[in-house]
Amino acid sequence: MALAKLREMLDKKEISAVELTQQYLDNIEKRDKDINSYITVCAESAIEDAKKAQNTIDSGNATAFTGLPISVKDNICTLGVKTTCASKMLEDFIPPYDATVMEKLKASDIVMLGKTNMDEFAMGGSSQTSYFGGVKNPYDTSRVTGGSSGGAAASVAADLCAAALGSDTGGSVRQPASFCGVTGLKPTYGAVSRWGLIAFASSLDQIGVIAKSAEDTGYLLNGIYGYDANDATSSKKSEGNYTSLVGSDVSRLKIGVPKEFFGDGLNDEIKTAVLNAVEYYKKLGCEIVDVSLPSLEYAVSAYYLISSAEAASNLSRFDGIKYGLRSGLGEDFNDLIKNSRREGFGNEVKRRIMLGNYALCSGYYDAYYKNATRIRTQLKEEYASIFEKCDVMLTPTAPTTAYKIGEQENDPVKMYLADIYTVTVNIAGLPAISTTCGYDSKGLPIGMSLIGRAFDEKTIIAVCDRFEKDFDRKEAVL
């Protein structure tokens, strides 16, 4: 049900905040053992949150989020609630502070149902690298959810929350949204504060939203966006009112279709579905423009070098001393760290740290890290010229639909290459939204992405909403 509709029902007392919360908790109880979308379910505190919210509603002081039950990805710090990043390393880490997004939402008496499962430290596209077990796709529990915000996407798809907070470093909101048949919004870099988001790759990370519709993603983004004095990379440029263009006429917009995104690696069924969406907009009256991102071929490598370099540094603080797993082994300081990190981190995290140090270490820095940042400049420039020709760019979200668990997530190279359609958005710091534009022959959701100009989330939300209103979305059947 749409967030705005839930708001109305709560305000009209058609349902109480506690009843609504209890419904979701019941759903979690029933379904999540098959899906594993939550690492921590906050049943008790959620009910407490709901009671408090109901008081606010009863006193007539309800605001947009009062009493709405959401899930929060487990790399977003929550005061007093375990925040694990799905890692053994942080299995029992309890943050002494709230992320800015949580502070904002709590101020509006939102209800937090729990913390969602993910790829360890958000490194992955399958949500199978979690120390707490992989997440299963509500459309077919033998398949992956995508990732890294797989728990968030599945929790929305399976009605285990009204909406979800995720994070997106290279596609981690959009790709699982696509695999799980829901809508995922990755805001412009700097639109949402990163304070309290446990860093994977600082220059690419952005907290995003997963919900049942584009309008809902905008609704929730209204509650979390904005400049934050705690995050020097957050921006004052955001204007909010993210759903203000929903329902407006989008037919005069120009939609760019980049040829590089429809090449060999793309599954035919996906290509057809996405091109059908292009056709939809054309029929609506939008001008379809051929655009080009010539440096796309460099994007995956540049993305992995930059993100891994930053990750290697960001994850160095996990040494067993101040928080997190501390190995019982280790005669000296060096051994203590090495063993703590050996025991605390999973294989993919170790690979990323190794790759990051490769990119940064003496003798390799110029050829790898430095060149990757040059490619970043190039891609930004190419996007700038694309947005001279069009208002929104339309691409597939992922080259495949959800694959079978165990099929490819153990092959890092295959996994990395599958990020091709999402990483350039993070590299260029742009906003993008993924929604379902079709179903493949197995009934699995196919995602398309709409990419917008920096800080112009409004437009992509409106364009996406237009499509969704005419699209026959199929719920997952559990």
Partner 1 sequence: MRYQPVMGLEIHAELLTDSKVFCTCQNEFGGSENTRVCPRCSGLPGTLPLLNHDAVRLAAKAGFATDCTVNNYSAFDRKNYFYPDLPKAYQITQFEHPICTDGHITVVGGKDIRINRIHIEEDAGKLVHDDYEGISMADYNRCGVPLIEIVTEPDFRSIEEVQDFVEQIALRLKYAGVCDARMEQGSMRVDVNISIMPVGSTEFGTRAELKNLNSLKAIGRAIEYEINRQSEILDNGGTVVQETRRYNDNHGDTKALRSKEEAHDYRYFPEPDIPPVLISDEDIQSIKDSMPEMPQERFARYTKEYGLPADDANLIISSKEFSDFYDEAVAINPDYKQISNLMLVEVNRQLNDSQLTISDVKYSPADLAELVKMSSDGVVSKNAAKDILKIMFDKGGKPQDIAKENGFIMDNDASGLEDIVNQVIAENADSVESFKSGNQKVFGFLMGQVIRLAGKGANPKMAKDLLTEKLK
Partner 2 sequence: MFNSDLTKHLAELSKISFTDDELEQMTSDMTNIIAIMDKVCDFDTSKKAYALDAVDYNDLRADEHKDSYPTEKIVANAKNVKNNSFVVPKVV
Q: What residues are labeled active site?
A: 73, 148, 172
Q: Which two tokens stand for residue 52?
A: 């408090």
The correct pick among 42, 165, 302, 461 for binding partner 2 (CB under 8 A) is 302
- Distance (Å, whole) CA 454 – CA 27: 37
Name the DSSP class of 266.
Answer: S
Q: For residue 156, which of 128, 135, 186 has the smallest C-alpha distance?
A: 135
Radius of gyration over every alpha carbon of the chain, rounded to an integer in angstroms: 21
18 SS3 class: helix
Which residues in the 282-341 window bind partner 1 by CB under 8 A? 309-310, 312-313, 316-319, 321-323, 333-334, 337
Nearer to partner 2, 229 or 477 (CB): 229
Stretch of 14-22, 26-34, 209-217, 356-364 contacting partner 2, by CB under 8 A: 356-364
Classified as helix, coil or strand, 78 is strand
Measured from the Cβ of residue 235, the count of other Cβ atoms closer than 10 Å reads: 19
Nearest to 323 by CA among 88, 75, 92: 92
Least CB distance to partner 2 at residue 358 (A):
6
Q: Print the binding letters for residues 170-209 with partner 2: x by CB under 8 A, - otherwise.
A: ---------------------------------x------
| Given 63, 108, 202, 378, the residue binding partner 1 (CB under 8 A) | 202
Whether the upstream peptide bond of residue 148 has omega within 30° of 0, thus cis, is yes
Q: Which residues contact 59 (CB under 8 A, 6 or more apart)?
A: none
- The DSSP 8-state label assigned to residue 356 in this structure reads H
Residue 306 three-state SS: helix
Closest distance between partner 2 and the C-beta of residue 403, in Å? 19
Task: Work out whether 229 is an interface residue with partner 2 (CB under 8 A).
Answer: yes
In the shown chain, the binding pattern of residues 74 to 103 toward partner 1, with x for contact by CB under 8 A and - for none, equals --xx-----x-x----x--x-xxx-x----
Rounded distance between C-alpha atoms, residue 47 and residue 251, angstroms: 44
324 by DSSP, 3-state: which? coil
Query: Nearest to residue 230, comparing CAs of 274, 263, 192, 195?
Result: 195
Provide the token pair at 290.
């051929």
Binders of partner 2: how many residues, by CB under 8 A? 62
* Residues between 222 and 251 that touch partner 1 (CB under 8 A): 229-233
SS3 165: strand
Least distance between partner 2 and beta carbon 108 (Å): 25
Torsion region of 101: left, alpha or beta (phi above 0 gives left; psi -120 to 50 gives alpha):
alpha
Tell me how far, at minimum, the Cβ of 115 lies from partner 2, in Å: 16
Binding-site member from 1, 107, 354, 384 for partner 2 (CB under 8 A): 354
Residue 195: CB minimum distance to partner 1, A: 6
Candidates 24, 38, 195, 383: give the one binding partner 1 (CB under 8 A): 195
Provide, rounded to whole angstroms, the least separation between the CB of residue 305 and partner 2.
Answer: 6
d(CA 318, CA 337): 8
Say whether residue 288 binds partner 2 (CB under 8 A).
no
**Looking at residue 265, what DSSP letter applies?**
T
By CB under 8 A, name the binding residues for partner 1. 76-77, 83, 85, 90, 93, 95-97, 99, 194-199, 201-203, 229-233, 309-310, 312-313, 316-319, 321-323, 333-334, 337, 357, 360-362, 365, 369, 373
By CB under 8 A, name the binding residues for partner 2. 92-94, 96, 203, 229, 232-233, 297-298, 300-302, 304-305, 312, 316, 319-324, 326, 330-339, 341-342, 345, 350-351, 353-355, 357-359, 361, 367-368, 370-378, 380, 412-413, 416-417
